[in-house]
Amino acid sequence: PVVLQYMRTAIEYIQNHLDEKITLNDIADICGLSPCYFSTIFSIHAGCSFSAYLRNKRIQMACRKLDTTEETFASIAFECGFCAVSAFQRAFKENTGLSPGEYKKRSLV
């Protein structure tokens, strides 16, 4: 089905560009859909909003980096597509229940 192809295109793009600024309008345009329609089908098929999906993927990437590197939180934040360290810290805490520092300490245990 065509809708699944849109989803594959969107998810692949997100995965390959997590470190860049990505907007719903950008992805809708890549899929050749209106932002409103894309948002609706994405939410239905992904089970969450586009912004929540993007944030979750970025936090997953940050967790992998926290587990495997000694990079600074600022470096990780920007490599994972966050425009500010404070936005990264806030999103990380909302998604994991821990600050990046608390997460890093737990992963060292």
Average pLDDT score over residue span 86-99: 96
Per-residue CA distances from 22 to 3, 13, 68, 75, 107 (Å): 20, 9, 25, 18, 29
> How crowded is the C-beta side of 8, counted as CA atoms within 13 Å?
5
Task: Give the span between the Cα atoms of 65 and 76, in whole angstroms.
Answer: 7
Average pLDDT score over residue span 5-28: 95
Nearest to 91 by CA among 59, 62, 60: 59
Quick check: 107 pLDDT over 70? yes
pLDDT for 109: 62
Q: In the numeric block, which tokens belong to residue 91?
A: 């999103």
Question: In this predicted model, what pLDDT tens digit does every residue of 22-37 receive, in sequence order?
Answer: 999 999 999 999 999 9
